[in-house]
Amino acid sequence: MIHPSEIAKMFEQEPLACWNGERLPLSEVRVSVLDRGFLFGDAIYEVIRVYSGKPFLFQDHLNRIQRNLEKMSLPADLGSIQRWIEETISASGFVEASVYIHVTRGVAPRTHRFPDPPPTPNVLIYVAAFHDSYSQFRHSGASVVVVPDQRWKRCDIKSVNLLANCFASEMAHQQGCAEALLSDDSGKLSEGSRSSLFGVKDSVVLTAPLGENILPGITRRLIQQLCEECQLEMREETIHQSQLDEIDELFLTATTMEILPVTRVDDQPIGDGQIGPVSRQLVDAYQKHIERFRNET
Ligand SMILES: Cc1ncc(COP(=O)(O)O)c(C=O)c1O
């Protein structure tokens, strides 16, 4: 067994956890092997970015947690989750951080159907110091690969069943790429393994419409708002793999990734292979939006 001190050493600074309301170092959290999250992946999760000690787009993330709890018939109390997130951020002392939230159906004898009566959900929250692993790509533009989308048919639920996403991400890593774009059987590119996908064609920003095949990204919503502020037209239209040689720009978005311009797909350049003007404009607008948020009281 890995000793708790070894777990603590995996982080530069050990994250602070909150396990069902009790605060403790992450390495000291103990979970039953009968937890349905462990046995079946019967759990949802959420990731929130903290800038200057404040959770960014907090209400949007809380709304998505609530929608996921409802879609999974998970009887967890959102009010307690909100309070525990706020308290853990403030007790952690981390100013630039990310918050991971994980809600499982709880502990019950192993059986596929939902236990009756329902067990008490287990709620894990932890706050970790943030290290930006994308900064090198943000300036140069990222290379990505296209891989088949092998996920289940309810990708709108932010469930912890991420094996197909992990496979895709590992394939990208093995080819020296920052992310994998997921393609359905007909060649439509839905999103990344852990990000939303956007294209730019003739100055119009394109992204796949919401449906059960993609996660409704919180950052995706912010991009829609920033497009309005920048007077950029945005259209919900899925990009097909065969259109990539006509696309001018591509970029990915996610909570900790922010905006990541993509300059190569499967080793082929997008547009002229440089970060394009619309991507630059949106990266700039995103940074200004965060600065305003940092300075809000
Ligand atoms: C599959 C997938 N799509 C999109 C996103 C982006 O979502 P958000 O902007 O809410 O972080 C993520 C983030 O984890 C993801 O895993």
Contact 17, 126 (CB under 8 A): yes
Same domain as 31, residue 59: yes
Phi-psi region of 158 (alpha: psi -120 to 50; beta: other; left: phi over 0): beta
Same structural domain for residues 147 and 265? yes
User: Based on the domain organization, do 118 and 85 belong to the same domain?
Assistant: yes
Domain of residue 68 covers 4-129
Q: Which residue's CA lies nearest to atom 15 of ligand 1?
A: 194
Check whether residue 125 and residue 170 sit in a common domain: no
Per-residue model confidence as pLDDT tens digits over 26-59: 999 999 999 999 999 999 999 999 999 999 999 9
Q: Is there a single domain that holds both residue 56 and residue 150?
A: no
Q: Could you say which of 84, 104, 129 is where a domain stops?
A: 129
Number of domains present in the structure of the chain: 2
Q: What is the CATH number of the domain that holds 106?
A: 3.30.470.10
Q: Is the dihedral of CA 251, 225, 286, 91 positive or negative?
A: negative
Per DSSP, helices labelled H in the chain are: 4-9, 36-40, 58-71, 78-92, 135-140, 163-174, 218-229, 277-295
Strands 249-254 and 258-265: antiparallel
One domain for residues 83 and 163: no
For the whole model, what pTM was predicted?
0.97
Q: How far apart are CA 195 and CA 253, in angstroms?
A: 5
Q: What does the pLDDT read at residue 139? A: 87
**CA 117 – ligand 1 centroid, Å:** 33
- Collapsing DSSP to helix, strand or coil, 67 comes out as helix
Q: Of the residues 71, 102, 129, which one is the last residue of a structural domain?
A: 129
Whether residue 117 is preceded by a cis peptide bond, meaning omega within 30 degrees of 0, is yes
My answer on whether 119 and 192 are in the same domain is no
Same domain, 96 and 238: no
pLDDT of residue 89: 98
Residues 157 and 259 in one domain: yes
**Residue 168 Cβ < 6 Å to ligand 1:** no
Pair 212, 68 in one domain: no
105 lines ligand 1 (CB under 6 A): no
Write down the pLDDT at residue 1: 57
Residues of the chain with pLDDT under 50: none
Q: Both 88 and 169 in a single domain?
A: no
Cβ of 207 less than 6 Å from ligand 1: no
Give the span between the Cα atoms of 215 and 242, in whole angstroms: 23
Query: Which CATH number covers residue 201?
Result: 3.20.10.10
Catalytically annotated residues: 158
Query: Is the CB–ligand 1 distance for residue 218 below 6 Å?
Result: yes
Specify whether 14 is located in the same domain as 98.
yes
Last residue of one domain, picked from the residues 110, 129, 148:
129
